[in-house]
Structure 1
């Protein structure tokens, strides 16, 4: 294994971060030298742009030619306190937003632009130039946690473990006291009626209804702590996918928060025995499978589990290359994307075993997407 520090790598190109567009049809890769766009379904490259410097994050506006760029890496192309709205048809910056502190992440749709800083979230109407709607202070948010749906924005609140939801249509604000420790991952369902949350502890994933903000379920990823990389609802909202630094993909059935009987539970009849620790009765994944995080230097590691640590690669969400990013192509097909020196695209299929009727997750394709 190559144990040299990431930023000293001379084996290019090196992917700093990766991001999916709103409908998961494409993904963008931010590099030390520019950015690229790929088809999510086939992993075929659609766009490759060398811009003469590092891009920390690149967020696509649907399938249009507009991409929000933030500088990053060893030699950033742009200052990290600016968001550049790049028009790929003309190869020029259409407009720029400047801030007092570095930008952690950007979210963008046809109607809105969300800019995430370490302790602030700004909400804008997507125009040229963007029109500010409002902004909110947040707890430390080095991972740039923020989910932008069709009519809702979800992001950390001012209190640790809290989720704030902003209704883009009405301006109403809702608050969910989701966890006692800092948030590590968020997800919104496609129709906006559910929110999934995970904390730095990484053992329990909680499911909340919206707009009522009541807790619907708790799912147990495992007993030992882990860094949750990504949460994602299936298009129909019937399943929730979870990845972690254990290199495992878990699938939970959202519509069935309790097993039909003890025979289907991980711990069998023990799940019904009173007074045993709660992990014996908790709801475990319906299916799990290993994914490849990629062969990376040892300097990329578990010390970045904590949202209180901000050191790392400048301009990159979380300070380390994206790993375990989830996207659903349809209700039976999941993608896992990773950045870094060993940048990977993996596809998994959800199938039902004929003999047992159990749901399983099976690998159905993978690629190092920067390889020629």
Structure 2
């Protein structure tokens, strides 16, 4: 007998999705009842909207009042075949809505033949991520399709957008497509031999970090020439990577996984000196014939974070794996990382027991940098 409870119970709100805005000053969460926006630094509520229906994906547009929404959960707000950014009534059947929170309305509407898996927004572009393609639209009324790219199977909706570049999975497993937004030029990076599980661009768009579904290595590339700059070792045992995030300067990278550990690495930045090689295992990397594991770059600091798997709340037991899977009806996201400053970062979790955790980098008496949890909070309304 299956004694597990459904993800969305009548006992209260459940967080189905999480996303930071571009500078991590705010984060938005999709709920089984609508969505909320919080100030990152204090975890104080900025906006809440009750639709009495589920939002399986949420994405903010910088500090603007627009929020991209995709229906999800057991009672999704929007139908499964459209995407919207709209100022008309929310009753319109659509998958993704860029909600105008200032007017409490939607603003544009985009149709898609298959369910939307991800969305990225800027003042110029709307990126709609489908299971096997990425469609780029001009942010206009009506939206104008600029380009479309085929991808390998992308059930997690992986896609990153910076001022100059877009990154998303390639057509071959383990590859990444890097698009220059000004010219449309496409570069293919053979990042991994297995499927891509996480990608992230630095805020200036000069660095790209990737991890595969194996989860042992993170690779960092220079986007200017696609050269691999460094290989970071999260661990030896396979793991599911939850989140990758560059610090504001791009000289550090944070990583979370289902090992319930937050790792922070130094990374070399093409435009800055320092930070390269601090995580290496010293003299061991110089000994001939030593196993490769000793020459990889390891994190300089780590800390445990809350990653309760909400076992009692699971429906599918994993993230969406096919076009027929509805967003928000499987394992709620955990360990979503955002840097609020060069020394402070947050880790956000979804589910029933949704938590905000604040970590700071401090120099210890031993002269080394340490990652210390400074505080935490259950952020769901009513908790």
Query: Superposition pairs for residues 64-213 of structure 1, below 5 Å?
Result: 64-82=64-82, 83-213=96-226
> 2:242 maps to which residue?
229
Report the alpha carbon displacement of residue 84 of structure 1 after superposing the two structures with TM: 1.6
> 2:36 maps to which residue?
36
Which of 232, 236, 250 lines up with 1:219 in the alignment?
A: 232
Contact 1:313 1:320 (8 Å CA) reproduced? no
Q: Report which structure shows greater RCO (CA 8 Å, sep ≥6).
A: 1
287-296 or 175-184, which moves further after superposition? Answer: 287-296
Report the alpha carbon displacement of residue 301 of structure 1 after superposing the two structures with TM: 10
Deviation digits for residues 44-81 of structure 1, max 9, x if unmatched? 00111111311111111222221111110011110122
Report the alpha carbon displacement of residue 23 of structure 1 after superposing the two structures with TM: 1.3
Question: CA, structure 1 residues 303+91, in 2 after alignment: closer, same or farther (shift >3 Å)?
Answer: closer
TM-score by length of 1: 0.92
Report the alpha carbon displacement of residue 273 of structure 1 after superposing the two structures with TM: 2.9
Moved over 3 A (4+): 268-272, 298-305, 309-313
Report the alpha carbon displacement of residue 281 of structure 1 after superposing the two structures with TM: 2.2
Q: For 1:279, what is the secondary structure of its paired residue?
A: helix
> What are the ranges of 5 or more consecutive residues in structure 2 without an aligned counterpart?
83-95, 269-274
> 2:368 maps to which residue?
358
d(CA) in 2 for partners of 1:243, 1:70: 25
d(CA) in 2 for partners of 1:364, 1:312: 41
Deviation digits for residues 313-362 of structure 1, max 9, x if unmatched? 6124x943121111110110111111111111111001111x22101101
Contact 2:232 2:265 (8 Å CA) reproduced? yes
Question: CA, structure 1 residues 303+58, in 2 after alignment: closer, same or farther (shift >3 Å)?
Answer: closer
Deviation digits for residues 89-136 of structure 1, max 9, x if unmatched? 222221211111000011111221111010010111222322211010
> 1:276 maps to which residue?
290
Contact 1:22 1:109 (8 Å CA) reproduced? no
d(CA) in 2 for partners of 1:183, 1:319: 19
d(CA) in 2 for partners of 1:169, 1:362: 41
Contact 2:8 2:73 (8 Å CA) reproduced? no
Contact 2:7 2:313 (8 Å CA) reproduced? no
Pairwise CA RMSD of aligned residues?
Answer: 2.2
> 1:338 maps to which residue?
349
Question: CA, structure 1 residues 282+300, in 2 after alignment: closer, same or farther (shift >3 Å)?
Answer: farther
TM-score by length of 2: 0.89
Deviation digits for residues 198-255 of structure 1, max 9, x if unmatched? 0001001001001200110101000000001111110011101111010100010113
d(CA) in 2 for partners of 1:265, 1:91: 51
Question: CA, structure 1 residues 46+204, in 2 after alignment: closer, same or farther (shift >3 Å)?
Answer: same
d(CA) in 1 for partners of 2:295, 2:316: 29
Q: For 2:340, what is the secondary structure of its paired residue?
A: strand
Contact 2:242 2:257 (8 Å CA) reproduced? yes
Question: CA, structure 1 residues 194+323, in 2 after alignment: closer, same or farther (shift >3 Å)?
Answer: same
d(CA) in 1 for partners of 2:375, 2:221: 33
